[in-house]
Structure 1
């Protein structure tokens, strides 16, 4: 289930991609399939081991084109182990809401992104996320949980302050918002509640089958209750220096 829309965020074969806070690796896998040279970085050693295993399986099955590469590594988003201008593309999906120093993370992403490079950032959308917080303290008051809710204008403002130029945005995963409202209402750790179980089955069916009816419904509902806000930006080219 991808949050970044690659029709709005084009990726070329050979692009150097950093999936920052890759988690289970969904965006890293898609970039690898598209022929990119991918680095998936996360602070969780367990997640990185799993992502590395899947990269190896994809390689063995020929799921990535010739020239594509994939590396999974542990790392700190506030101290990225890469030189300046290392990547053509940086993706950070559902991560910034967890990090106290979000401006520091943005500064690091801008540093490793080459001039003219592209950034995709996704965060929980303000409205649906606010409902979750109102329904359940346990939803966000956990170690490593969400510490802030972004308004779209706030996130776009922080991108601009970091020196980036936003060029597009949209909302995603409208069908997932009611699922999390149900989870918060019946208990975030309670997976046996009949409404939660029934809605989870619907989501699994939708992800596996991708029926036209739910695709059209989600497309119509995304502007209203899309669970995620997605923004795209570029790093401007440095102005040419005047000749001495």
Structure 2
């Protein structure tokens, strides 16, 4: 289940991609399939080991084209172990709402992104997320849980302050909002409640089968109750400094003609 829409976020074979806070690796796997040179980074060592296993399995199965590469590594989003301008593309999906120093994370992403490169940021959308917080404290008051709710314009402004130039936004995963409302209402750790089990079964069926009816329904509902807010931006090229004007040549006095 991808949150980033690659029809709005073009990715070319050979692009150097950083999936920051990759989690289980869903976006990293898609970039690898598309022929990118992928680095999947997360602070959770156990998840990184699983992502590395899946990269190896994909390579063995021939799912990635020739020239693609993929590395999974443990690391800190606030101190990325890469030189400036290392990547053509950076993706950070459903991560920034967990990190106290979100401005620091944005600064690090901008540092490692080359001028002209593209970045995709996804966070929980304000409205659906606010409902979850109202229904359940346990939803967010946990170690490593969500510590803030972004309004769309607030996130875009922080991206601009970091030196990025946003060029597009959309919402995603409308069918998942009711599921999380049910989870919060019946208990976030209660997977046995009948409404929760039934709706989860629907979501799994939808993800596996991708029927036209649910795809159209989600497309219509995304602007209203989409669970995620997605923003795309570029890192501008540094402005060329104006060249100093060449000093004016002093005119020479005309020579007198000899008699």
Give distance in 1, aligned partners of 2:111 and 2:63.
Answer: 31
Partner of 1:157 in structure 2? 157
> Which residue number corresponds to residue 80 of structure 1?
80
* Number of positions where the alignment pairs a residue of Structure 1 with one of Structure 2: 244
Residue 95 (structure 1) aligns with: 95
SS at match of 1:216: helix
- The alpha-carbon deviation at position 189 of structure 1 amounts to 0.1
- Matched residue of 1:19: which SS? strand
Matches within 5 A, 1:1-244: 1-243=1-243
What displacement does 1:42 show?
0.1
Query: d(CA) in 2 for partners of 1:147 and 1:23?
Result: 18
Pairwise CA distance, 1:120? 0.1
| TM-score, length-scaled by structure 1 | 0.99
The 3-state SS of whatever aligns with 2:17 is strand
Which secondary structure does the structure 2 equivalent of 1:31 belong to? helix
Inter-partner Cα distance in structure 2 for 1:47 and 1:205: 25
Question: Using the alignment, how far apart are the partners of 1:214 and 1:61 within structure 2?
Answer: 30
5+ residue gaps, structure 2, are 245-259
- Rounded to whole Å, the distance in 2 between the matches of 1:197 and 1:128 is 20
Partners of 1:124 and 1:240 in 2: how far apart?
Answer: 37
Q: State the shift of 1:242 in Å.
A: 3.3
1:240, distance to aligned residue in structure 2 (A): 1.4
